[in-house]
Structure 1
Amino acid sequence: MKFNEFRILMRSLLPILVGALRRGQLFRPAAVLTEPDADMLCEYDVRIPMSEGFFLTANVFRSKSAAARDERVPVVMCAHPYDNSLIPALKKTPLSGPPKQYRMIRQCGGRPVFSTLTGWEAPDPDFWVRHGYAVVNLNLPGYGSSEGPPSVFSKHQSRCYGEAIDWIAAQSWCDGNVGLSGVSFLAISQYYVASKTASTPPAALKCIAPWEGISDPYRDLLMNGGIQEVGFPVFWWQTEMSETIRDGEQAIIETEGGLPRAWTEMHPFLDENWKAKIPDLESIELPMLVGASFSDHSLHTMGTLRAFERARSKQKWLYTHRTGKWVAYYSDEVKQLTLDFMDCFLKGKKDRFESRPRVTLEVRSNRETIHEKRFENEWPLARTQYRPLYLEKSSLTPTAPTTRQEIGFDSRSETLRLHHTFDADTELSGYFALKLFVESRETDDGDLFVILHKLDARGRIVYFNGSVGLIHDGVSRGCLRLSRRELDLNQSTPFHPVLSGTSHQPLRPDEIVPVEIAMLPSATFFKKGEGLLLLIAGREIIPAPPFQRRVPGRRGRTILHTGGPFDSHLLIPVIPSARASRTE
């Protein structure tokens, strides 16, 4: 590892480790292990042949009594690069406890509970086998004990996953029905194999349940807002990936041309290399149960909601929350919900799930308080009223100022603060967008980081859960490099601008340019007298390790123009009274 990469890793990892040490989490992991049922039959390193001549390996968990009766059962399956042998039951985790991530990352909202057979972000075999399923945990090519070339977010992974599903479905103990479940990478891999990204989905694949996964690696994470993310890829690679590659890092360099941490240097624009890593979401027609959080803004929120919105499936459901993703995934509520979903599409038990409304929306008042959890029929909500709040000196106002104004701040040291107070109870659920007219003095480029906070009636910031254990996040956030401001007009909407990722447009001296900044969705309730605080700066406002953006720290002032012909404004998603919706 080069010195610069080591420095980035330390900046990403040390704050997380120090926090874990202070909480005592390094020695008391934030998860609860349970022992699996005595009826569990565990088959490790089952070899699955690929058409290319190599073998993948999977761990298969079944019921001993069902096997003795030659009973055929449906399968819940997952696939990933994390080495399926790293489970407590095989004593390959630190001190034979939960996966090591639970010793480092704060678990917002509680402590996940799962059996000793459960791998990182994978479905718990004990739960599923008790309910009449088999569980298959698959190593993708080149990881763990699986053979073949390793890759990341690739069509080759998808094809191999599909072949493995076909092979599992043909086994004597499987009834031919397979569903997918899992978190993060285990969700992302579902998008690829369930779509026509690489090939037609396997006939045995009947449904998918992706829980929080990016669906556009370039826009969602590595170049979000046109600004290079350097912290997370180094952290992710060193803490989760480097030890699981079967033949070492050189193998993936040969396949991908470089490690993930180097991809944005090799491919700074959205070229064919990146497009090949975007799953064809519009071709997904299988039933879906999608888990999305408003607490993963730096990572999975946008990609997960995009997958739900774009999939053409006529049977798709969305479950939202703002607690920790692992706490939610392993909760009794979500396990039962996913069981009802799998029972419906793998066992034909339609009475408990098929008539369920399509969206479960959790609206929060603050980090700890759920204002309401209710059913909706779609996302985004059809009755959303998008209202502009115009920038005027230190305030956000519903009336556009008639005279031109300049609001400036030092790009390296100052933060612009603008307030708005609600004069009635208000729910904001959906996408935010910020339109600005910007001038960058003394330089031909600049970065804008934006945080939207909730304020209580006394003007104090109200915090929410965020990504990777962050507990001081805002309602929403966004960012933009000015030279990367060009929009993809085919994908953009008035409430959600999408960058093209294909151009570099430096600013000319004295040039005022319109920019649109996508701000991530949330569902938040405000009482009368509470308000919004919009923060704008030229640097990251809320540090959120392991995430780090590469910002050059340009000197000079950033000028925002508002009033008259410059309708700089924040677009907010106001939800009228939900009398027609049903509370869960």
Structure 2
Amino acid sequence: MVSVAVAPFETEVRTRAGDLVRADVYLPADGGPFPVVLGASPYQKSLRRLPPHPVFPFTEYGPIQLYLDNGYAYVAMDTPGTGRSEGTWDPVSRAEGEAIGDMIEHVAVQPWATGAVGMIGMSHYAWSQWNAARTRPAHLKTIVAYDGATDMYRDWMYHGGIPVQGFWSSWLFGSVLMQHTLNGIGFREGGKDQFVYEALSHPFDDEWQRRRSPFWELDKVEIPVFSIGVWGKGPLHLRGNFYGFERVRGPRQLLVTHPESFAQAQAYYFDEDFHRAELLPWYDHHLKGTDNGVMDRPPVRFYVNGERTYRSATSWPPADAEPSAFYLSGERSGAVRSLNDGSLCEDAPAADENPTSWSYPDPEWRAGVTVFDADGRPDHVARVTTFTTAPANRDREFTGHGVLTLYASTDQADLDLIVKLSLLPAAGGQPLRVSQGWLRASHRAEDLALTSDMRPFHVHDHAEPLEPGTVYELRVELLPMSFLARRGDRIRLEISNQDSLIADAPMTHFYGQKVGNDTYHHDRRHPSSLRLHERPR
């Protein structure tokens, strides 16, 4: 249970849309007025009585008491149509961002506030920060977006055009709707049922999706922004933290931290030492005017997986990162038991070779692609296609972006690509997932204004069915990464059209009605390749 110096009280404001929205205000015991940190979410401010714990994944507000002890007011807001706030729930819409902005302007002029407001919180709270920042409220001085998406469509609702299913269910029903019913607030109150209907009715990046994606307006944001990504939350928020950092126009820093799982990322946000070292100095400088040198920190800092250390750069990707290519080959790597055990080679194919074909759904799949051996142990790659490098002959750091260019054909009108990149330590032990990507082939069209050689940006505004038997060049965006492959380590690429319901949960995808045969071509006419940014060592 959260301990506070003074019991919270409720404040309310009528938004420009006419909704009465409410927030709880926590104040330090003595003194004032105070700068304000404000968090906004649909997770019901009344639930702050629950302890931070993986069974309560919506406890994403951070260590309130720490900020009270350091002279900040903490404001916890229910977004419109949720908790104690009236109106219609329209998550991450521009209208919701404006409502948060109205609350910011309201609290900024209260007698207990100095007028300087920053925003706080992780995941959905970070998403709310990007959303409010794009509406540019006058008293919002900074945001610190820890683990927060910026593009609803691409970051988590439709990965590469493939609908996300697992997280959608756990978030929408588990963290929002069912928690409201436990507090006597029905599914249909606040229009929550309408959002469910609408969300399932927009499979393309249309105007409905764009209103819920701050990404498109972040180039108007000029306040200081501290974007903090978490490698362990890659398939949900990581992409948004990088794009958010790149698009804003004011003073900015990017930090990418080390937690390797969803649960670890949640727990890390309640680590008071982390806040004292990283977030509190930022707020002190931008909300209190403290000259503490925080803006002298490197613009980009990142944890290097496999090396377990932090490094810094002046930009992302680092200026010294250059693309290195690995070509897919049918030659057996001898590294793993999989459908094909193919190789990744640094020499481009010089001759024709047989392609890699496979059929789906695989008869041995049990938990998505995962199968189980005679002792009940799960194997996540035995029934997928893999391509693995030879053992590294030197230490190699891969930091930046990655792209898989795959020449593929199918006997169907479409095909899905679910791609994973893992580091295989020479010393043995569990592979370390370092990146992943997704693409529905009918969504292969790219936005020429935003795409680049190492980072394709797909438009997702229409479908182009495939002609069975025709070979297509498909470019799959891989999530940002940083890892050190030490001498003797290998890199493994996995390709399938289905997730592991164990290793990939909760970011799993709707399988649908896929039955067919897909073929991946890797010869001199079709040089399928994996390209990664590599830094000199």
- TM-score bracket for this pair, using the shorter chain length: 0.7 to 0.9
Provide TM-score, normalisation by structure 2. 0.87
CA contact (8 A) 1:219 1:225 kept: yes
Aligned to 1:218: 153
CA contact (8 A) 1:453 1:462 kept: no
The CA distance in 2 between the partners of 1:477 and 1:212, in whole Å, is 17
**Pairing partner for 1:397 from 338, 345, 348:** 345
> Are 1:506 and 2:465 an aligned pair?
yes
Aligned amino acid, residue 292 of structure 2:
D
Alignment of 1:57-96 (within 5 A): 57-66=22-31, 71-88=32-49, 93=50
Aligned to 1:30: none
Deviation at 1:152, TM superposition (A): 1.0
Aligned to 2:379: none
The CA distance in 2 between the partners of 1:354 and 1:267, in whole Å, is 41
What do residues 144-184 of structure 1 show as CA deviations (whole Å, max 9, x unaligned)? 11122222111221111111111111111111111111101
Aligned to 1:569: 529
Aligned amino acid, residue 250 of structure 1:
R
Provide TM-score, normalisation by structure 1. 0.80
Aligned to 2:402: 432
**Pairing partner for 2:252 from 316, 328, 333:** 316
Aligned residues: 493
Alignment of 1:105-254 (within 5 A): 120-196=59-135, 201-242=136-177, 243-244=179-180, 248-253=186-191
**Pairing partner for 1:353 from 294, 318, 321:** 294
The CA distance in 2 between the partners of 1:500 and 1:259, in whole Å, is 23
Identity between Structure 1 and Structure 2 (%) = 26
Range that drifts further, 423-432 or 477-486: 477-486
Range that drifts further, 531-540 or 42-51: 42-51
The CA distance in 2 between the partners of 1:51 and 1:508, in whole Å, is 51
What do residues 34-75 of structure 1 show as CA deviations (whole Å, max 9, x unaligned)? 744xxx122332223334444221111112221xxxx31111
Aligned amino acid, residue 47 of structure 2:
L
The CA distance in 1 between the partners of 2:406 and 2:54, in whole Å, is 41
Aligned to 2:440: 481
The 3-state SS of whatever aligns with 2:46 is: coil
Structure 2: segments with no counterpart, 5+ residues: 331-341, 363-382
The CA distance in 1 between the partners of 2:18 and 2:115, in whole Å, is 24
Aligned amino acid, residue 218 of structure 2:
L
Aligned to 2:413: 444
CA contact (8 A) 1:447 1:551 kept: no
> Are 1:282 and 2:219 an aligned pair?
yes
Aligned to 1:41: 6
What do residues 89-116 of structure 1 show as CA deviations (whole Å, max 9, x unaligned)? xxxx4xxxx15x53366xxxxxxxxxxx
> Are 1:50 and 2:15 an aligned pair?
yes
The CA distance in 2 between the partners of 1:542 and 1:382, in whole Å, is 38
Aligned to 2:282: 341
Aligned to 1:12: none
Aligned amino acid, residue 244 of structure 1:
H
What do residues 242-266 of structure 1 show as CA deviations (whole Å, max 9, x unaligned)? 133886332444xx88333x44531
The CA distance in 2 between the partners of 1:259 and 1:73, in whole Å, is 37
What do residues 470-514 of structure 1 show as CA deviations (whole Å, max 9, x unaligned)? xxxx11111222222222222211111122111212211321100
Deviation at 1:555, TM superposition (A): 3.0
Aligned amino acid, residue 404 of structure 1:
D
CA contact (8 A) 1:73 1:173 kept: yes
The CA distance in 2 between the partners of 1:185 and 1:34, in whole Å, is 20
CA contact (8 A) 1:210 1:291 kept: yes
The 3-state SS of whatever aligns with 2:239 is: helix
Runs of at least 4 residues off by over 6 Å:
none
The 3-state SS of whatever aligns with 2:295 is: coil
The CA distance in 2 between the partners of 1:51 and 1:561, in whole Å, is 56
Aligned amino acid, residue 181 of structure 1:
I
Q: CA RMSD in A?
A: 2.1
Aligned to 2:375: none
Distance 1:62 1:342, change over 3 A: same
**Pairing partner for 2:243 from 289, 301, 306:** 306
Aligned amino acid, residue 174 of structure 1:
A
> Are 1:534 and 2:475 an aligned pair?
no
The CA distance in 1 between the partners of 2:176 and 2:444, in whole Å, is 33
Structure 1: segments with no counterpart, 5+ residues: 1-32, 106-118, 465-473, 578-584
CA contact (8 A) 1:422 1:531 kept: yes
> Are 1:297 and 2:234 an aligned pair?
yes
The CA distance in 2 between the partners of 1:34 and 1:155, in whole Å, is 31
The CA distance in 2 between the partners of 1:300 and 1:576, in whole Å, is 28
The CA distance in 2 between the partners of 1:528 and 1:146, in whole Å, is 56
Aligned amino acid, residue 273 of structure 1:
W
**Pairing partner for 1:407 from 349, 356, 380:** 356
